[in-house]
Amino acid sequence: MLTVVFALACSLQGDEVASAIAKFKADMAKAKGPAEQFAAFTDLGRTQDEKTLAILTPYVTGPEGLRKPAIYAISGFYDHQKKVVPILLKSLQTNQTDSIAVSAALEGLGKIGDESIAPTLHKYFPDKNLFVAKAAIAATARIRHVSSIEPLIQALRVQEKTLANAGSGSVGGSNIPELNRGAIKPDASIRNSAEKLQTEANSSLKKITLQDFKTSAYWQKWWDANKATFQVEK
């Protein structure tokens, strides 16, 4: 009897997956624009199965306009984490000239919450693209791993330096490697980006540590006094 019930459940699940895939293909065929395409990916992402994941995966590195919705869809496949994480990591390399897809992948990695990818997130802190750097910093707040504290303090320090130099004409001449990617004009856009990244870094530090400081100097002072024994409260 139990065998029959199990077989029936598997059959119903198989029918659900097949139906979801068929609907996705039909919706994509008749989609009139990005909004309808995004909705099709979102709908398919609600049916989390290896077969639906296989349908979504090629789009992650496929046509430019379809990468982001595909990445968002697979980022919710928590029960398939071991397969999803490598897909998202590969997309960072394949789509490295597509800041929208890279930002979405970084956000997805944070959503999945795999602590092992924290070092990858840290590498994107100094990215020239505001949205990429912001997504990487924000993702660490979701993972909440102790290894992110020092890189976040450094990221905060960099933005403080940028803000201090904004308007002085010396933003592009710092000794900090992250700032030496070419001459940067000290204008409102530089200040605006630095302020947003400063806010994001502070926010992530607060969420990881449950402490509340405003500057990198205070964060560093606290960290120097506590890093030997600090543990993230889960």
CA pair distance 141, 220, nearest whole angstrom: 18
- Average pLDDT rounded to a whole number, residues 184-197: 81
Rounded mean pLDDT, 103-113: 96
pTM equals 0.84
Task: Compute the distance between CA of residue 157 and CA of residue 217 in angstroms, rounded to an integer.
Answer: 8
Q: Which domains does the chain have, with CATH numbers?
A: 9-112 (1.25.40), 119-227 (no CATH)
- Burial grade of 93 (CB within 10 A; 0-12, 13-18, 19 or more): exposed
For the segment 52-75, the average pLDDT, to the nearest whole number, is: 96
Report pLDDT for 176. 43
Q: Determine the pLDDT at residue 76.
A: 93
Dist. CA 89–CA 82, nearest whole Å: 12
